[in-house]
A and B are shown apart, each in its own frame.
Chain A
Amino acid sequence: MSRRSWVRPLLAMGLVAVTAVVSACGTSGPGESNAGSLKIWALEDPVLNKIEQKSIDSFKASGGNASLETFGNDPYKQRLRVAMGSPQAPDLFFNWGGGNLKEYVDAGKVADLTSVLEENKAAKDAFIPSVLDGAKLDGKYYGVPMRGMQPVLLFFNKKVFKDAGVEPPTTWDQLLTLVDTFKAKNITPIALAGSQAWTELMWAEYVLDRFAGHEVFKNIRDNGPAGWKDPAVVQAMAKLKELIDRGGFGQSFASVAYDAGGASTLLAQDKAAMHLMGTWEYTNQLDQSPDFVKQGNLGWVAFPSIPGGKGDPSNLVGNVSNFYSATADSKSLDAAKKFVTTTLHEDSYVDALIEAGDVPPVVGAEEKLKKSPNPEYASFIYELVLDTKNFQLSWDQDLPADDATFMLTQLQEFFLGKVSPQQFVDAVAAR
């Protein structure tokens, strides 16, 4: 018995112990799957899972064999970690691309899909290049897009804006003025679900991008935490602090949760004027406050520009897309490659995504999007992504997990005013 083969099970047990100390939760997913069958792991989603299952069914119909397992967000990330490299590893796994995927690539766990994409030009050319690049690391492709594109937009309540006689902001200065306008009317200018750090992160991402351009974060990602020391970061954070101190997010954001619907409801009930959120906010509002959307009161614009800022106003941040990546030592690697190059761009899959309200990451979808349940909205997002100079993946997905976790904590302290822009930079740069 080699050393490696018993070390891992033992460590897995240690992990079980740590888990047992922290909680006694967790149910095991359906473990059994037949040999030779493609095991696919994805994130739980009541609507999209059905579509993904359909693509698997059509793959089966053409002679393949595959099964889908789904998990909630946090359990998924933990489970994937532990499973990768063990015999329980999936053959294809859902991920967010970027730095999140890079950790697995660096550990040698992910198959290089470059050659198979080159051989299947039709598949490669079907996707929007900037989105396909979301899973491109060191010039090699490690994933194929499989869900809709989700840039972050500034949503606003049209009724509240109309009542105040104002227009949605196109510049940072207008945004600051609007804060005063709405505060005077006792309306929270911007809803923020601050108990979850990733909502605050969206603000930091856009402000730094608009103010200093997307290269600043690229440098941090590629060359390590020292990149935070770029003077532009402190200046951008100071701008954000100005917005916070001005009362832009009100006083109670620190215990508002997105998952519980706190921030979205503020917007829908005319208690807040704006809300910066990923594109899923639309479906969310449609689900939680259907009248608000149907009366046409939900508006959306791209993030305002910062006068004198270096960032291109067309730049986007958010989830570029989600990807399927293949495990390097999968026994069904060929089947996995066949799956990602045949099913993910076929018309039935793309149509189903559009029908579900998603904006698929494929080229030439303009006509198809008119059949979307929300054609105006879907086309807006599609155009945004096609026109963007740079689509930055959310920082917490694009940094290694340990750095990202630390940065999110510091960011929450920053929003609470416990940490100054300079202290924020010093802390995250010292990692």
Chain B
Amino acid sequence: MSSQRPSAWYAVPAFGFFALFAALPMLLVIYLSFTAWDSLGTPQLNGGENWARLLDDAEARASVWRTLVLMVVSWLVQTPIALLIGVWAAGKQRSRAVLSSIFFLPLLLSTTAIALLWNALMEPNFGAFVGGPLFLGDPDIALYTVVLVISWQFIPFHTLLYQGAARAVPPSLYEAATIDGASRVGKFRHITLPQLRYTIVTSSVLMLVGSLTTFDTVLILTGGGPGTATRILPLHMYITGFKGFEMGYASAIAVVLVVLGTALSLAVMRWSGFRSMSSQQEGS
């Protein structure tokens, strides 16, 4: 009995599901992006009109830029914090269990609850920061406020990833380093970080793609405001499609989102050597 692999038929449910709920809708969205449709009548093909408009749309360009800023800044904020807390939480300190469970609290809250909570906290007249900066009301600050809230929400998740990975690092490596007289920082730099390399890749892909498509937090927290200060690309799509009912144009934006997301994860994979993933542990 050499072939214990399941037959190809086993993949049918998964492929069927993917085709029906991912591939087919995506094809339809591509079709819709070449039509004018207010979701009332029948879609009318209008050639590349939506795409020409997209190239010309200053608001779309600005929202792509905001999305990139949001993506990069939240990666820069979340990664170091999550990494450090994760590695720390993997250790054996006495207070670790208690403090870790406090750090993980935001994980238990739903996005809606988190967004509403922060929104109430930052209310300019009755919130917790009255007289302070207008976190949600100042167009120059609002996007960073969104980063702050998203980070608060997701750092615990990434911490959990790092904690698990850091625990898997063989203690023998650290023991050897201790004998060689390595400092704490040295051990972190030369053992922990290289060993966590693939975890960093995984966590980064999740963060980058996650913040590219993030939507609910921003919708509830700011609704894209003040003005358009936090109107990121997915929100621009939503407002165009479900407030303005321009489904064709919204579909064109959706296609851009799909392309950006795919390109991004491919790029991260390639750049990081994720595909040739192999063990970094002793003997490899």
A residues with a Cβ closer than 8 A to B are: 4, 7-8, 10-11, 13-18, 20-23, 25, 74, 78, 81-82, 84-85, 103-104, 107, 109, 194-196, 251-257, 260, 262, 265-266, 271, 401-402, 404-406, 409, 412-413, 415-416, 418
Which parts of B216-246 form the interface with A (CB within 8 Å)? 216, 219, 222-223, 225-228, 234, 237-246
Partner of A104, one of B29, B40, B126: B40
Partner of A252, one of B28, B137, B219, B254: B137
- A405 near B25 with CB under 8 A, answer no
With a cutoff of 8 Å between Cβ atoms, the chain A residues found around residue B215 in the complex are 22-23
Which parts of B75-116 form the interface with A (CB within 8 Å)? none
**B264, CB-defined interface residue at 8 Å:** no
A274 to chain B, nearest CB (A): 15
How far, in angstroms, from A409 to B239 measured CA to CA in the complex?
10
- B40 near A412 with CB under 8 A, answer no
**B164, CB-defined interface residue at 8 Å:** no
Query: If A195-B226, A413-B227 touch, does A271 touch B125 (CB 8 Å cutoff)?
Result: yes
How far, in angstroms, from A262 to B24 measured CA to CA in the complex?
44
- A252 near B38 with CB under 8 A, answer no
- A412 near B25 with CB under 8 A, answer no
**B73, CB-defined interface residue at 8 Å:** no
8 pairs of residues in contact across A and B, judged by CB atoms under 8 Å: A17-B24, A18-B237, A18-B247, A81-B38, A194-B226, A252-B125, A266-B125, A401-B38
A377 to chain B, nearest CB (A): 26
Chain A residue nearest in CB terms to B235 = A22
B31 to chain A, nearest CB (A): 7
With a cutoff of 8 Å between Cβ atoms, the chain B residues found around residue A253 in the complex are 137
- B246 near A13 with CB under 8 A, answer no
How far, in angstroms, from A271 to B41 measured CA to CA in the complex?
49
- B226 near A13 with CB under 8 A, answer no
A235 to chain B, nearest CB (A): 23
Closest 8 CB pairs of A and B: A17-B25, A14-B28, A255-B137, A252-B124, A254-B226, A405-B244, A255-B136, A402-B244
Partner of B40, one of A81, A196, A251, A256: A81
- B216 near A107 with CB under 8 A, answer no
Chain B residue nearest in CB terms to A195 = B225
- B225 near A255 with CB under 8 A, answer yes
- B39 near A81 with CB under 8 A, answer yes
Query: If A17-B26, A401-B244 touch, does A256 touch B39 (CB 8 Å cutoff)?
Result: no
With a cutoff of 8 Å between Cβ atoms, the chain B residues found around residue A103 in the complex are 38, 40
- A23 near B216 with CB under 8 A, answer yes
How far, in angstroms, from A415 to B225 measured CA to CA in the complex?
12
- A255 near B123 with CB under 8 A, answer yes
Partner of A255, one of B38, B134, B216, B254: B134
Which parts of B109-139 form the interface with A (CB within 8 Å)? 119-120, 122-126, 134-139
- B226 near A22 with CB under 8 A, answer no
Q: How many residues of B contact A (CB 8 A)?
A: 57
- B28 near A405 with CB under 8 A, answer no
B residues with a Cβ closer than 8 A to A are: 21-22, 24-26, 28-29, 31-32, 37-43, 59, 119-120, 122-126, 134-139, 142, 213, 215-216, 219, 222-223, 225-228, 234, 237-247, 250-251, 254, 257
B236 to chain A, nearest CB (A): 10
With a cutoff of 8 Å between Cβ atoms, the chain B residues found around residue A81 in the complex are 38-40, 245
- A14 near B25 with CB under 8 A, answer yes
With a cutoff of 8 Å between Cβ atoms, the chain A residues found around residue B122 in the complex are 255
How far, in angstroms, from A235 to B223 measured CA to CA in the complex?
30
With a cutoff of 8 Å between Cβ atoms, the chain A residues found around residue B42 in the complex are 4, 7-8
Residue in B126, B234, B246 with the greatest tally of chain A CB atoms within 10 Å: B126
A262 to chain B, nearest CB (A): 6
Partner of A412, one of B22, B225, B234: B225
Query: If A11-B43, A21-B234, A418-B139 touch, does A256 touch B241 (CB 8 Å cutoff)?
Result: no
With a cutoff of 8 Å between Cβ atoms, the chain A residues found around residue B43 in the complex are 7, 11
- B39 near A22 with CB under 8 A, answer no
With a cutoff of 8 Å between Cβ atoms, the chain B residues found around residue A18 in the complex are 25, 29, 237, 241, 247, 250-251, 254
With a cutoff of 8 Å between Cβ atoms, the chain B residues found around residue A85 in the complex are 40-41
How far, in angstroms, from A401 to B249 measured CA to CA in the complex?
14
Residue in A8, A252, A265, A406 with the greatest tally of chain B CB atoms within 10 Å: A252
With a cutoff of 8 Å between Cβ atoms, the chain B residues found around residue A11 in the complex are 28, 32, 37, 43
With a cutoff of 8 Å between Cβ atoms, the chain A residues found around residue B142 in the complex are 255
Partner of A418, one of B59, B120, B219, B227: B227
With a cutoff of 8 Å between Cβ atoms, the chain A residues found around residue B28 in the complex are 10-11, 13-14, 17
With a cutoff of 8 Å between Cβ atoms, the chain B residues found around residue A265 in the complex are 125-126
Query: If A253-B137, A271-B125, A401-B245 touch, does A20 touch B227 (CB 8 Å cutoff)?
Result: no
How far, in angstroms, from A152 to B149 measured CA to CA in the complex?
36
A301 to chain B, nearest CB (A): 24
With a cutoff of 8 Å between Cβ atoms, the chain B residues found around residue A195 in the complex are 136-137, 222-223, 225-226
- A14 near B134 with CB under 8 A, answer no
With a cutoff of 8 Å between Cβ atoms, the chain A residues found around residue B245 in the complex are 81, 401-402
With a cutoff of 8 Å between Cβ atoms, the chain B residues found around residue A401 in the complex are 38, 243-245
Query: If A22-B215, A85-B40, A104-B40 touch, does A255 touch B243 (CB 8 Å cutoff)?
Result: no
- A255 near B124 with CB under 8 A, answer yes
- B223 near A17 with CB under 8 A, answer no
- B227 near A412 with CB under 8 A, answer yes
How far, in angstroms, from A413 to B58 measured CA to CA in the complex?
14
Partner of A416, one of B25, B139, B237, B239: B139
A286 to chain B, nearest CB (A): 20
A333 to chain B, nearest CB (A): 19
With a cutoff of 8 Å between Cβ atoms, the chain A residues found around residue B38 in the complex are 81, 103, 401-402
How far, in angstroms, from A2 to B231 measured CA to CA in the complex?
41
Chain A residue nearest in CB terms to B25 = A17
Residue in A4, A196, A257 with the greatest tally of chain B CB atoms within 10 Å: A257
- A412 near B226 with CB under 8 A, answer yes
- A254 near B225 with CB under 8 A, answer yes
- B244 near A406 with CB under 8 A, answer yes
A395 to chain B, nearest CB (A): 14
How far, in angstroms, from A256 to B21 measured CA to CA in the complex?
39
